[in-house]
Amino acid sequence: MSWEEFKPESFKSAETYTLKHLDAVMLHFFEDCVNCGLCEVNCPYTAAGEEYGPVEKAEPLRRIYRPHAQILPKLFPWLFGANSPKSKEELDKWVEKAYRCTNCGLCYVTCPFGIHSGEMIKVLRSYLARTGRIPTLLKMMIDTEASNTLLENEGLRKVWEGMIDRIKAEGVEFNKKNTKYLYLTSLAEVMMTPGSVLGAVKFFKKLNLDWTMPDKPLSMRAPIGSLAGDDEATTIVARRIHEYIKEINPEYVVLSDGGYPYTFFRFDLPRIVGEKPSYKVIHIVELVGEALREGRLKFKNAEEKVTWHSPCKMGRIGGLIDEPVEVLSKVSSNLVKLKSHGVFSKCCGGGGSIACIVPPTQQVMEKVMGVSIPITGSEKVFLDKLYRDMLVAGKAKVDEIRESGASTVVTACIGCFHTMGMTTQAFGVNVKLKMLSEFLAENLE
Amino acid sequence: MDLLDFAIYVAPPLVVAIFLFGVGYRIGRYIFFWRRKPSALRRQRPLLKLFIGLIKTFLDPLIQGFKYRKGDFLGGLVALHILGVIPLIFLLGQHVAMFSYWIPFYLALRPLAIPSSITSSSLTALANVVPSSDMSWTFVNTVWGPLTVILNGDLLAILAIIGVSYKIGDKIVRLVHKLGNARIGDWYALVLLLAILVSGFMATHHLPSGETGTYRTVLGIHILLAELLVATLPFTKFWHFVFGYWYGKLHEWYDLKYNRGAL
Ligand code: SF4
Ligand code: SF4
C-alpha cells in the first residue's frame, strides 16, 4: 500500500492485530491514565506543539482499544472516542502523532501513574503499518534487512567491506565459535560512526580478549522493523541474529551502540524469540569499567571540557546511568554534567527512527546507496514537517549543551550522534561529537 | 422514608456490593490479561539503592509537577488531593461518625476527626463550652486542638472546591484550544466531585434554608452523590487512588529499576 492510500477495509485486521498487544501492563497503560497531562512537561515533542503531548499521541490507540475492551464505549462509541480514522486526513493526523515520539521513556518516569505512553505509541505504529503507513525509507530498510539482502546494494557493500578490511588488519578471526566475547555491530554503525566500531576493536585488542565478530552485517541496526511496529520483520531478523549468536556460543555479546540495539538485544530479544538467552548482553562501557576497576586499563587525562549525553535507551531504559559517567570521569577531570541527567536526562529528539527518515538523512542514504527514494507528495510534506519539528524537539538538549560550555559531547547511540549533529548545527552550537568507545579509545594510554 | 433515610439506611449495602463487584472485575481483568513471557536477566543492584529508588519513583512526579506545572501542583495536588478531598473524606467529623456506623472499627480514627467549621472548633476547643450531650463533643474535641481554627471542614472544602474548579477550568481551556485532552470520564469525575463538595458544604451550613425538610433533602443528595461515586469508583478514573497509582508506580519501579537497574 502506498502512503497516499486510505483503505478502511484494512482497519479490521489492523485492529485485531493491535489487540494482541493488550496484556496486563498495556491494560494499565490504556485504562489507568487520568488524563492529567503531566507527562507533557518532559516530552521533547510538546515543544513542537501541545497536541504532541504523550497522552494525546497515545489517544488513537485508546480509541482503537475502547470498543473492543470496554462495554460502554462499545455501545456509545461517539461518546467515548472509540473509532478508527474516518478519512485520509484523520489517518494522516494519527501518523503525524505516532511519528512525533522517540520512545524515550521520559513520559514513563514523569507520569504519576507510571504510564509509558511511548510504548502505546509504538503499538499505534504497528496499527498504522498495517494500514500502509510506514515511511518509505524505513520500509526499504526493513524489507532489505528482513530479506537479508543488505549487501546486494553496491554502496552499502562498499561501506561494510571497507570496515571489514580495516578490522582484518587488526588480526581478528571472524565468526569464531565458542569465544568469550562476540562483538555485534551493524551496518548503520559502520556507516554513521565508524570510529565507534574501531574504538571497540581497539579495546578488545588492548585487553587481549578472546573475541570475534560477524564478517557480514546481521542487520541494518537492530531489527529496524521494531521501530515501525513491523513485528513480522522484527521477529525474522531477531530470530536470525539469535540463531547466529547461539551458533557462535559466546559468553557475552558486546555492543558499542547504546541506542535501541542495546535495549533490544538486552531486554526485548528473549520475549520476541520466546527463549531465555544462553549469553549475556553488555555494552562495551561495562567491559571498560570492569577493566578499569581491576587496573587493566589506564587513560590519559583529556584536556578538553567534556560532557555526556546519556542515550535514553542506554540510560533510562537500559539501566546504564552511572557506568558511563564513572568511566568518563577517569578520562577527563573536566567532565561537566548537563542540566538534565540521570533518569530524567532529556531526549535528543531524533530517536525512534525519526532522525533516520528526515530529509537530510534521506539525501545521505540516496548518495550512499546510489538510488533515488520514491517519496510521494504528501509523504514529502509529512517528512519536511517532521524535520522542522525534530529540530524544535532537539533544541532543549542543544541549549543544555551550550549552557554546559563543553567543547566535546560524548554519547553512545548513533541516533543521538546523528540527531545532535543536525540540531547543534541548526542552532549554531559548535561542539565536537564523539561516540563513547571512540573517545575512550583515543585516550587510552 | 425520605431521601436521607434511603441514603443512610438502604443504599449502603447496595453501593458496597456494586463496588466490590467492580473491584473484582477490574482486578480480574489484570489476571486475565496477564501473559507469561521469557524475560531477560535482571541487572543486580544493591538493595538499599533499590529501596531509595522505590521512594523516588513515587516522589519524582511530584517534583516534576512542582518544577514545571505550578498550577497543577497547587490546584490539583495540594488543594484538591492533599488538603482537600483526602482529609475531608476520611477525617471530617461527620464522615467519621457515618463510616463508624457501618464499619465499627473506623471509630478508632475518632480522635483525629476534623470539625466541620471554625465555629464548631472555637466553641469547643477555645471557648470550652461543654455540649449537653457527649456525642458531638467527642467528634470535635480532637487531637488537633487549636489547629482546628484552620484545620476544619469549611476551609478544606473550599480548598477542594478551588482544586476541582481549577481542574475543570483546565479542561475547558484544553477544549477551547482543541487539544482534545478531555474525555467524558473527566467530566463525570470532576462534576460529580464538585457536586458532592458543594452539596456537603450546603448541608453543613443549612443552605439554602434552615428548614428541616430542605436540610434533609440537601444532605440526602450529598450522601447519595457520594454513594454514586463509591459505586462507580472501580469503573471510572477514581480507580486511580485504589489501584492505578499503586500498581502503576510499583510496575514502573519493577521494570526500570529492579529489572533494568536504572537508578
Ligand atoms: S501523566 Fe500519565 S495519567 Fe497523566 S495524562 Fe499523562 S499518561 Fe495520563
Ligand atoms: S516516549 Fe518520549 S517522545 Fe514518546 S511520548 Fe513519551 S516522552 Fe514523548
CB within 8 Å of A319: residues ≥ 6 apart: B43, B256, B259, B260, B261, B262, B263
- Calculate mean pLDDT across residues B113-131: 68
Judge whether residue B45 has pLDDT over 70: yes
How far apart CA B162 and CA A230 sit, in angstroms, is 47
Given A133, A149, A181, the domain boundary residue is: A133
Q: Per-residue pLDDT averaged across A13-28, rounded? A: 95
pLDDT tens digits, one per residue of B67-119: 999 999 999 999 999 999 999 999 998 899 889 988 899 999 988 999 888 77
CB A433 within 8 A of CB A321: no
Indicate if ligand 2 lies below 6 Å from the C-beta of A94. Answer: no
Distances (CA, A) of A414 to A40, A149, A257, A336, B210: 26, 22, 7, 21, 73
Q: Is residue B197 part of a domain?
A: yes
Read off the pLDDT of each residue in A48-62 and give the average, rounded to a whole number. Answer: 95
Does A177 share its domain with A46? no
Residue of B38, B68, B185 lying closest to A270 (CB–CB): B38
Compute the average pLDDT of residues A68-81: 94
Residues A218 and A285 both lie in one domain: yes
> CB A270 to CB B64 under 8 A?
no
Whole-Å CA distances, A1 to A4, A64, B229, B242: 8, 21, 48, 46
Residue A190 is assigned to a structural domain of this protein: yes
> Are residues B68 and A108, on separate chains, in Cβ contact within 8 Å?
no
List the domain range (segments joined by +) for residue A118. Answer: 8-133
- pLDDT at B136 (0 to 100): 61
Q: Are A116 and A26 members of one domain?
A: yes
CATH number for the domain harbouring residue A80: 1.10.1060
Domain assignment present for A310: no
Q: Please check the confidence at residue B123 and state whether its pLDDT lies above 70.
A: no
Residue B137's pLDDT is what? 64
Q: Residue B214: pLDDT above 90?
A: yes
Q: What is the pLDDT of residue B133?
A: 65
Domain closes at, from A80, A105, A133: A133
pLDDT per residue as tens digits for the range A243-253: 999 999 999 99
Give A410's DSSP letter.
E
Q: Are B136 and B56 in contact (CB under 8 A)?
A: no
Per the domain annotation, does A307 fall within a domain? no
Which residue among A27, A56, A315 sits closest to B30, beta carbon to beta carbon?
Answer: A27
Residue A398's nearest CA partner among A347, A324, A356, A353 is A347
Residue pair B126/B145 in contact (Cβ under 8 Å)? The answer is no
Of chain A, the percentage scoring pLDDT greater than 70 comes to 100
Residue after which a domain boundary falls, among A264, A297, A330: A297
Q: Are residues A87 and A160 in the same domain?
A: no
**pLDDT > 90? residue B178:** no
Alpha-helical (H) ranges within A176-332 are 187-192, 194-206, 225-228, 231-248, 260-263, 269-273, 284-293, 322-331
Res B134: pLDDT: 65
Q: How confident is the model at residue A207 (pLDDT cuts 50, 70, 90)?
A: very high
A97, A178: one domain: no
A250 with A103, same domain: the answer is no
Determine, yes or no, domain membership for B36.
no
Predicted confidence at residue B117, as pLDDT, reads 83
Flag whether A312 is in a domain: no
Q: Is position B39 within any domain?
A: no
Residue B137 lies in a domain: yes
Residues A394, A293 share a domain: no
Alpha carbon of A54 to ligand 2 centroid (Å): 6
Ligand nearest to C-alpha B167: 1
3-state helix, strand, coil in chain A (%, to 5): 55, 5, 35
pLDDT classification of B50: cutoffs 50, 70, 90: very high
Rounded mean pLDDT of chain A? 96
Task: Inform me whether the pLDDT recorded for A438 exceeds 80.
Answer: yes
Distance CA B185, CA A389 (A): 31
> Do A85 and A215 belong together in one domain?
no
- Domain identity same for A367 and A344: yes
Q: Which of the four pLDDT bands, split at 50, 70 and 90, describes residue B143?
A: confident
Q: Are residues A147 and A274 in the same domain?
A: yes
pLDDT value at position B101?
87
Please tell me whether residues A129 and A148 are part of one structural domain: no
Please report the ipTM that was assigned to this predicted complex: 0.95
Angstrom CA distances, A281 to A111, A134, A264, A267, B97, stand at 29, 30, 10, 9, 59
Q: Assess whether pLDDT exceeds 90 at residue A335.
A: yes
The reply to whether B196 falls in a domain is yes
Q: Which of A350-354, A374-378, B116-120 has the lowest mean pLDDT?
A: B116-120
Residues near A322 by beta carbon (within 8 Å), at least 6 away in sequence: B263
Give a yes or no: residue A406 inside a domain.
Answer: yes
Ligand 1 pocket by Cβ (under 6 Å) = A 33-39, 54-55, 111, 113, 115, 117
Res B179: pLDDT: 76
Number of domains present in the structure of chain A: 3
The residue range of the domain holding B204 is 3-18+46-259
Residue B132 lies in a domain: yes
- Among A28, A110, A271, select the one facing B38 at the smallest CB separation: A271
**Total of domains in chain B:** 1
Q: What is the largest distance, in Å, between two alpha-carbon atoms of chain B?
A: 69
